[in-house]
Chain A
């Protein structure tokens, strides 16, 4: 802007203040709604996590640390002995394990796919990207339902395997950890492909060619040239898949069949049958903190590598 001179006259300063005032005014309505229905409730939840659980759901307004205590510990109702809450620990562990496996599976499938798109002629890349984004914008529940139908005992996959004579009995895939992982991979795969593609698009193939000229093998080129160059994309994609996997609710509920719980389902339980709101609130905040740490890593990675992100 040419208007921006080194000296700020008083009218200039006034104009600036007016502009800032106008900007804030324009943002206020959106911020009010977001405060009422997004950030405000998080603060209320934080407060609720320090209250006492009511007998029939809800809370009693007495301060207590029981909610936080119960995240990992279990107090015996008869003799007050504290033990580690095995059930919770195992659900945390399953959530983290399944999320890591999902991330790896997405990477294994997403990497070649993103590479394939990035090496298409420029005009057709948009088309392939569009094909990746379409499922992403369609209903998550429906995509999960689609997976459910495909892997049922009398679903397409089992029927096909039986028809081919590979198996005699249908394999029980639905309602297992494998089903949850498969579903999450299917649902979150676009989140891996898009950032991978973004960094592969910028890949300078002259470097790749130079490596080949120096008699590097394909594997070596992949390991020593391509992967190091697109590492920011790999990190970004992995975090973007890991975060929603960890907080997944619908996919484990539908494909896990109510017994293979993940964190999201454990949280839900506290507001349904469990009737322990403070514990549910504490669990939610724990999940939120883990996600925030992951996001922080993501932003750091993006800043260091100069990835554009909105």
Chain B
């Protein structure tokens, strides 16, 4: 910056009046509702308006609630499976689409992988409902496969992006060196490529897990009777009397997401 301006207050070309105030307000507003939500999960009373002292009771009662327990277990089962499959598929696809010459069909592949990000969730949800309901009627099979399949599909792009980013930033010379030293392609992949891309894979898997865990819309339309995940259970409860139990579940889910995202952030920072 040139210091040509001589005045009482140094003139900054970067400053715009009021912008900092709005920005700070914006940050506060982004977090305030979440803070209030988490705060009331520790309320000793049943009220969402009056503060009656600190207590863990709502966490305890949520823990004791059978419905919530079932939903939690189902959420985790689906999210783990979906994250696993999506990460494996996305890793393969990333290996097939990066560090290569342009090939025919590449654009189609990109479009298909990114489709879940582009199509509104409600549209995908309804389309899946139509297909799966018909299949359910024909086969009379109502298992978890539908949910896992749907979750895997929309998790693929989320797993794919960090893995591809990692691959594109990777130095090829180590792999070339391994190949020069007569490593077989498999050995080269297993011993060199895979360890190098591991942080990307991990980030992709965690992202996929969080996305699956948080999904409401598609789950709501695909699930069969009795297959409630935590978010769909919550969606159902929001229409009834809301107790701070909901705040407790929300707080736990929030913590999981924030923890995962922070880890991903750290994983990606290490790289540079």
Contact = CB atoms under 8 A, between A and B. Distances in A.
Interface string A253-296: 11000000001100110010000010011001101100110010
A37 B217 contact: no
B128 interface: yes
The binding surface of chain A is classed by DSSP as helix
A198 B108 CA distance: 27
Nearest to A189: B30
Interface stretch (A38-46, A64-72, A85-93, A228-236): A38-46
Contact of B93 (A30, A36, A143): A30
A176 interface: no
A189 B26 contact: yes
A265 B134 CA distance: 22
Given A26-B92, A26-B95, A140-B216, A291 B118 contact: yes
A37 B214 contact: no
Interface string B146-176: 0001101110100011001100000000000
A42 B265 CA distance: 34
Nearest to B23: A116
A27 B127 contact: no
A146 B112 CA distance: 34
Contact of B149 (A37, A143, A150, A189): A37
B97 A186 contact: no
Contacts of A263: 122
B90 to A, nearest CB: 6
B115 A39 contact: yes
B122 A34 contact: no
A42 B129 contact: no
Interface in A180-226: 186, 189, 205, 208-209, 212, 218, 222
Contacts of A139: 213-214, 216, 231, 250, 253-254, 257
A169 B112 CA distance: 53
B186 interface: no
Interface of A: 16, 19-20, 22-27, 29-31, 33-42, 44-45, 48, 58, 109-110, 112-113, 115-117, 119, 126, 128, 130-135, 137-143, 145-150, 152, 154-156, 159, 186, 189, 205, 208-209, 212, 218, 222, 243-244, 246-247, 249-250, 253-254, 263-264, 267-268, 271, 277, 280-281, 284-285, 287-288, 291-292, 295, 310
Interface of B: 1-2, 11, 13-20, 22-24, 26-27, 29-34, 36-37, 40, 48-49, 85, 89-90, 92-93, 95-97, 100-101, 103-105, 109, 112-113, 115-116, 118-131, 133-134, 137, 149-150, 152-154, 156, 160-161, 164-165, 210, 213-214, 216-217, 221, 231, 234-235, 238, 246-247, 250, 253-254, 257-258, 260-262, 265, 269
